[in-house]
Structures are given as structure tokens and as C-alpha cells.
Structure 1
Amino acid sequence: MSITVSLPGTALRDALGAMPDGVDLLEWDLSGPPPAEHIDIVVPPYMDTLGRLGALSGVTTRLVQSQSIGYDGVEDALPPGIVFANAASVHETSTAELAVALILASQRGIPDFVRAADRGEWAPKRHASLADRTVLLVGVGGVGRAVLERLIPFEVNVVRVARTARDDETGRIHAIDDLPSLLPDADIVVIGVPLSPDTEHLVDAAFLAAMSDGALLVNVSRGSVVDTEALLAELSSGRLRAALDVTDPEPLPDGHPLYTAPNMLLSPHVGGATTAMMPRMAKLLRDQIERMLRGDEPRNVVLRS
């Protein structure tokens, strides 16, 4: 059996290394016509993918393997008859690293220290610890689990929330309906849910109003999970703090008020943008190729258009 795989560029090709016999690699970033009438596995580009998925209508394929975990908007952009897999297992670790980095930097005042150093000032100040804080983790999927694993050594009290209440090997998971009673006791709230009609603007004015004075909101999921105007109102009053890797709109246009909002730490959607990405993406793709060669079902299928 032989299969054809299209890759969007040379970086992933280099990371894949030697392929088994019968695997033909092509280069296609979906910006032009397909290089073949049939491609067994199509890997779209990592960024700016939605606008290119229409190119799949010009090719038959057995699997489209995304390089992202999130797939909001993909269903509407896919031509019919497509099997679409996300990149679960690729970005969770790096995204969790960034979430913890944003928490630590915000708690310990790192942005203020950096700005003071840029001005040539020695500006010591006592800040809040991460130790002994209550962290409310909203979302217990792959990213949420990775964040939890990294928070536990910091001696925090982690409270978890998911769509439905249940227990697992690490304890109780509360239902999302419990948020109003849980938010007032949280020092830090980490958002790690996928974007869906149910989670769009989950963090709205009422959600933010329920957070305690001085609490920190951390969003590493999707920008539209948070109501930007409601968050800006709380930041401008000085009541809440925020650390965001994702925003709505995204990218932020020049001069957007989030850039200059007080108590804000902003990173430009780089949760998965680390050196870990390509080796892990290559590992996932090799597994998908080997599965197809064996006649097994692919991993991580999230859509069938």
C-alpha cells in the first residue's frame, strides 16, 4: 500500500525525517491548486488556515490533519466529505507552560520590574505569591490537565470546572453552573475551554463581577470566550487583573485599548509557538501515516463534513 501526504512547508518535512516505503510527500500550502487529484493526508498551514480550506474542494482526501488543537469555524469552512483531525497532544504542554508563566509574571510583578529596569530604576515591591492561592481552572481538557499538573508543585488550591460535574483520579470537578458560587473565592481564574456557542462570552460582565477584588483572569483558550468590553471596564476601574494570550479581536489592531489597559499582561497568541511544536507535530503525523498504512482509523478526528 502507498499513500500521498501533502505538507505546507519544509519545516514539518525536515522534522518528519525518513518515511516508510510507499509514502510520497508533496508540498502544498492550500494557497493554489492541489499538486495531485488525490492526496491521502493533507496537512494545512498552522496559521491563517480557515480562509484556505476551500481549496480542499479540488482534491479527494482521506484525512485533513490540522496543526492546531482548536477547530472553531472549521466546520463552516470545510467542503463536504472531509474527515478532519485536530492536533491534540502537540500544543498542550507549551500552552500550559505559558499559562503558568503568565500567572507567575502577574503575581510576582515581573512586568513592573522590567519597566522599572528599562527606566534605570531600582523598584522593589512586595507582590502576591502563587503559593497558597486558590486557582479556579475552567476547562479540564488536554490544556486544562497540563495546567493542573504544572500548578500542583506550586502548593496551590486548584478548583476545577467543566460542563458537567464528576469525579476523577485527582478529585472533584464542578459543573459550569457552579461558577457563580466558586468565582468569589478564586484568586486566579484560568480559562482553558474550547470556543463554541456555549462558551462564547462565557466570561461576561456577570462572570467578571463575581470575581473578587484584585483577582487575576488568565485566558489561553480563545479570545471570544471573554467579552472584551466587559473586561476593559473591570481593568480600567483597577478592580481586576488580566493576563491574555488570546484576544477578541485578534490580532489586536493598532491603538486598541487592551494594549494600554492597567493591570494587563498581554502575549500575542503564542501558547503553542515553541520548539516543542515541530517534533510533536511530526510524531503525530508519523502515527497517522502508520495508522493509514495499517488500515487503522486515524486519531483525533473531530469533524466529518
Structure 2
Amino acid sequence: MTADVWLPLPQDEIDGLPEGLNYRFWNGEEFPADPADCAFYVVPYMKPSPLCVRPLPRMTSVQVVQTLSAGIDHVEPGLHHLRPGVTLCNARGVHEASTAELTLALILASLRGIPDFVRAQDRGEWLGGFRPALADRNVLIVGYGSIGAAIEDRLVPFEVARVARVARSERTTARGHVHPLTELPALLPEADVVILSTPLTESTRGLVDEGFLARMKDGALLVNVSRGPVVDTKALLAELDRGRIRAALDVTDPEPLPAEHPLWRAPGVLISPHAGGPTSAFLPRARRLLVDQLRRFVNREPLRNVILTTGATSA
């Protein structure tokens, strides 16, 4: 029997798909076929975790699970249903451009007071005065993967004073040294802008807690384009209410943020509705990734962006 591929896009919207596979369109409604026949599962994009993992217990023949997001936290709860040897891949290369763009937009809007200008425009008020610039600021990027590197690429033309990079492990890149997470407490007091672009893992959940925020300098800006639970919302609200720091958040905890949540009305905060990925840049890059991955799958070549293999043990 020919293997099924479950796609969150109709087959006729993706040029260049390899032949020899049965393509099934599924974006969260009724199953398009028997999940047991699925060999390659592309997880629906921007859908809640329970929906994404719903078919996994019945996908007894699946070989590859491919997300269209950089993070995999929305599928991790269902991985225990899979047999050993299933490959999980993420969407590295799909979201770097759009997420980095939004990161710079949030930084510039927050520093230059764009939300204040919009509100003043609604009132017909000419709101002058000096505002902070991004130029000459120290920037700290927490989570220096492909998205973190793309953010730094776009920071360069803005003449920032310094960029410090933090990742899970220490290394050296073409742009310079990457500090390990253990050095984060020493780096925070020097940063004017702290950007969170780290994956959500057990080690990063609640990373930005009371102690983290206390080490940030007065007037610093926290920018979160990673996942909401990386930040302790209660601790952040306390600092915002004191007016000691500011925040620009593309992700929140909880999410979506309820209308009555105090974070909406906290001073010095700018919130966008998890808009980093879903832009016009998404579909062309997602299509190219899927075509390449499926060609590799058909030709039995190594897949890109492999995050883990179920049942494998780390040394």
C-alpha cells in the first residue's frame, strides 16, 4: 500500500511534491483517512496542542512527524504514543525572517513610543519630546539558534553598541562568542534590551522569574518572541507595575490573553497576538521545506531539522 502523507495544505497548493505518495489534506477537522496508514505527518500550523496530537495514538505506521513551527512544545505531549524510531523535525528556516522582523518592530515601537503616538493621533494631539533610540544600546539575545542569529543580522544596521548572545551551551559563531545559560545572571545588568528567542523546554520554562527580572537594569526593555511560559507573568507584572522595566510581548502566558487580564493594562507594555510567524513570508518557505523533506523521505536521504527520534536515549 502506498504511504499516506497528511498535509495541512491542499496538495494542489504545493508545487513539486514527489510522486508515489498519497497526499491527504488535514487541518484539524475529520480525519481524511485511517491514521494507521499515515507515514509522514505534517502537524497543522497555529492550532492548539490537543488538536495537533489527536491523531498520534492511532498513527501506528508513522515514520516522520514534521512541525511547521520552530518550537515543538505543542506536539511533545503526544510523542509518548508513538512507537520507537519516529523522527521529529521542526521548521528551521521557515520563521527566521518574519520573527526577526517582528522582533525589530517591537523593539523600535517600544523604544520610540509608537503606541503613544497612535493614541495621541486618535486624540488629535501632537506628542513631542525625546525618546530612547536603539542606536548605542547593549542588546542581549537569550536563545541563540537560527532565529536569534537572524535577529542579530537585522540589529547590525541599527548601530547597537554591543550584542551578547546566550544559548544552552557555550560556543563560537562567525559573529562572536555565545555564552552558556550559566553566565546569564552576570550579563543581564548590562543589557538595555533583552530578547527572548529560546525554545520552551523544562529548563527554560519560568526562566524569566523574579530573580531574572531583578537583575535587569532600570529602564531596560524585555522582548519575548519565544513562548509565553518562558516568562513568569506574575513576576513580570510586578516589575511593570513599579515602572522599573518595559516589555514588548508577542507571546504571553496565558495565551490567548483574556480580555480582563491585567497584562493588557500594565504600564510600559506592548502586546502583539503571537504574530511572529504568520506572515506572507511563511507559506513560500513552508512549501519549500515540505517539498524538500518529502523528496528526501521518498529517496531515503537524511532529513533536515531533526530534533529527536522517539525511543532514543541520550548518552
Give the C-alpha shift of residue 24 in structure 1: 2.9
The share of aligned pairs that are identical, in percent, is 51
Q: Could you tell me how far apart the structure 1 residues matched to 2:64 and 2:110 are?
A: 41
Unaligned runs of 5+ in 1: none
TM-score normalised by length of structure 2: 0.91
1:301 aligns with 2:306: yes
Decide which moves more: 241-250 or 179-188: 179-188
Q: Contact 1:40/1:63 (CA < 8 Å) preserved in 2?
A: yes
Q: For the structure 1 residues 18 and 164, does the alpha-carbon distance in structure 2 shift closer, same or farther, using more than 3 Å as the test?
A: closer
Task: Select the residue among 98, 109, 134 that pairs with 1:94.
Answer: 98
Q: Could you tell me how far apart the structure 1 residues matched to 2:208 and 2:220 are?
A: 14
Unaligned runs of 5+ in 2: 311-315
Q: Contact 1:66/1:86 (CA < 8 Å) preserved in 2?
A: yes
Q: Could you tell me how far apart the structure 2 residues matched to 1:18 and 1:134 are?
A: 45
Q: Contact 1:32/1:55 (CA < 8 Å) preserved in 2?
A: no
Q: Contact 2:3/2:37 (CA < 8 Å) preserved in 1?
A: no
Matches within 5 A, 1:174-193: 174-193=179-198
Q: Could you tell me how far apart the structure 1 residues matched to 2:29 and 2:120 are?
A: 45
Q: Could you tell me how far apart the structure 2 residues matched to 1:285 and 1:2 are?
A: 18
Q: Contact 1:30/1:56 (CA < 8 Å) preserved in 2?
A: no
Give the C-alpha shift of residue 8 in structure 1: 2.3
Task: Select the residue among 16, 32, 38 that pairs with 2:14.
Answer: 16
TM-score normalised by length of structure 1: 0.94
Q: In the TM superposition, what whole-angstrom CA distance separates every residue of 1:216-255 from its partner, at most 9, and x where no partner exists?
A: 0000001111110111011111110000000011111121
Partner of 1:121: 125
Partner of 2:313: none
Matches within 5 A, 1:20-35: 20-35=18-33
Partner of 2:72: 71
Q: In the TM superposition, what whole-angstrom CA distance separates every residue of 1:20-59 from its partner, at most 9, and x where no partner exists?
A: 3324322123543451441232212112242131313323
Task: Select the residue among 272, 275, 279 that pairs with 1:270.
Answer: 275
1:252 aligns with 2:226: no
3-state SS in 2 of match to 1:61: coil
1:217 aligns with 2:222: yes
Q: Could you tell me how far apart the structure 1 residues matched to 2:246 and 2:43 are?
A: 36
Q: Could you tell me how far apart the structure 2 residues matched to 1:163 and 1:18 are?
A: 37
Q: In the TM superposition, what whole-angstrom CA distance separates every residue of 1:129-174 from its partner, at most 9, and x where no partner exists?
A: 1011000111110110110111011111111112233322211222
Decide which moves more: 186-195 or 46-55: 46-55
Q: In the TM superposition, what whole-angstrom CA distance separates every residue of 1:168-202 from its partner, at most 9, and x where no partner exists?
A: 22112222222222111111000111111111111
Task: Select the residue among 103, 107, 132 that pairs with 1:103.
Answer: 107
Q: Could you tell me how far apart the structure 1 residues matched to 2:250 and 2:216 are?
A: 20
3-state SS in 2 of match to 1:224: helix
3-state SS in 2 of match to 1:113: helix
Moved segments of 4+, more than 6 Å: none
Q: In the TM superposition, what whole-angstrom CA distance separates every residue of 1:234-293 from its partner, at most 9, and x where no partner exists?
A: 111111000000001111112100101100000011110101111111100000111012
Q: Could you tell me how far apart the structure 1 residues matched to 2:260 and 2:230 are?
A: 22
